[in-house]
C-alpha cells in the first residue's frame, strides 16, 4: 500500500481533514514544524508507529500491539485538561487536548482510537477490499466492502466493467 503520511505536514493536514484538529491550530502546527524539523520528524515517526499498532488492535488480532496503543492513550489522558464548558444545558466540563504543540495530531488520533475501542463499533471494524487500500472502517451492518464507495468501490466496479468489456 502507498504511504500517505510522508511528512509532518501530511500528518497535520490529515488530522485536519479527518476532523481531529481545527484549521487554525493546524496552520500553526505546520509553521512550528518548519521551525523544528527534527522534532516534527520524531512526532511523525511516533504517529506511524502508533498507526501500525492500531491496525491489528482494531481488527482484534494484536495482543502485543495493544500495549503500544494503551501507552499512547495513557499519554493522551495525561496531556488533557478538564475545562469548563460555557454552554448551558450540556455537560459542565469536558476534556480538552492541547492543540498548540507538535504532538497534537498524535494526541487527537489516540483519543479517536480510544473512543472507537471503547465503543460497540470496535466489534465491527473491517478492512477495505479496494486494491492497494487497506483502510479500516466501521461496518455495523456487515454489508460494506469498501471504505468509501465513491473511491474504492467505484474503482473496483470500473475495473470489473473494463475487464468484462475486454472479455467480449
pLDDT in tens, the chain (168 residues): 678 899 999 999 999 999 999 999 999 999 999 999 999 999 999 999 999 999 999 998 867 899 999 999 999 999 999 888 777 677 788 888 888 899 999 999 999 999 999 999 999 999 998 888 888 999 999 988 888 888 888 777 777 767 777 777
Q: Around Cβ 8, how many Cβ atoms within 10 Å?
A: 25
Is residue 4 within 8 Å of residue 51, measured between CB atoms? Answer: no
Q: What is the pLDDT of residue 161?
A: 65
3-state secondary structure of 150: helix
Residue 93 backbone phi and psi in degrees, to 5: -145, 165
3-state secondary structure 32-58: HHHHCHHHHHHHHHHHHHHHHHHHHHH
Q: What is the pLDDT of residue 144?
A: 87
CA distance 6 to 124: 29
Q: What is the pLDDT of residue 62?
A: 66
Amino acid at each position: 500500500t502507498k504511504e500517505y503520511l510522508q511528512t509532518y505536514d501530511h500528518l497535520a493536514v490529515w488530522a485536519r481533514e479527518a476532523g481531529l484538529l481545527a484549521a487554525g491550530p493546524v496552520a500553526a502546527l505546520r509553521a512550528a514544524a518548519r521551525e523544528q524539523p527534527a522534532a516534527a520528524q520524531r512526532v511523525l515517526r511516533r504517529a506511524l508507529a502508533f498507526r501500525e499498532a492500531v491496525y491489528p488492535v482494531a481488527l482484534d488480532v494484536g495482543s502485543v500491539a495493544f500495549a503500544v496503543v494503551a501507552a499512547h492513550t495513557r499519554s493522551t489522558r495525561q496531556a488533557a485538561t478538564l475545562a469548563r464548558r460555557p454552554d448551558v444545558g450540556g455537560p459542565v466540563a469536558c476534556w480538552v487536548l492541547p492543540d498548540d504543540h507538535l504532538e497534537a495530531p498524535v494526541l487527537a488520533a489516540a483519543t479517536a482510537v480510544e473512543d472507537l475501542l471503547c465503543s460497540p463499533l470496535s466489534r465491527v471494524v473491517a478492512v477495505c477490499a479496494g486494491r492497494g487500500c487497506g483502510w479500516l472502517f466501521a461496518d455495523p451492518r456487515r454489508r460494506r466492502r469498501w471504505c468509501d464507495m465513491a473511491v474504492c468501490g467505484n474503482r473496483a466496479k470500473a475495473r470489473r466493467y473494463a475487464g468484462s468489456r475486454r472479455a467480449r
